[in-house]
Structure 1
């Protein structure tokens, strides 16, 4: 395992909101241009890991969402998986 992977082990335990908050901070830091090149590369790689984690959590949430079907009387007839479009 590389040093960078060890430094990103904490990401797997993060909630979506925590990971997104860190990702936003990384983007802001990189946009300022005040970060040395080597550090920029490190935080960019962490940002990629955070982005991947956020995408994984979003996909899991989408998989859990169900579309509600209504019967003729307006009552709930059942549920079906959300169409992934």
Structure 2
């Protein structure tokens, strides 16, 4: 599933997360977003988009971890 960009949105700050995004890639992107936001690199609008993207990445990571945890429970049963 491809990410959807709104007009005028900075490349790389799409809010929608590809469901095939690997956990490690999502964490790396989230760390980079945090570093960029802390550096003051973004305008106010870009900071809001980065925050929204980060929140979506965090939710994606939590979902992946939840799935893995569920699989581990099945293996332990």
Q: TM-score range by the shorter chain?
A: 0.7 to 0.9
Unaligned runs of at least 5 residues, structure 2: none
8 Å Cα contact 1:23/1:51 also seen in 2: yes
Q: Which has the higher contact order (CA 8 A, sep 6+)?
A: 2
Stretches (4+) displaced over 4 A: none
Bigger radius of gyration among the two: 1
Contact 1:30 1:40 in 2 (8 A): yes
Higher strand share: 1
RMSD: 2.5
Of residues 20, 34, 37 in structure 2, which corresponds to 1:27? 34
**Structure 1 unpaired stretches of 5+:** 69-78, 81-85
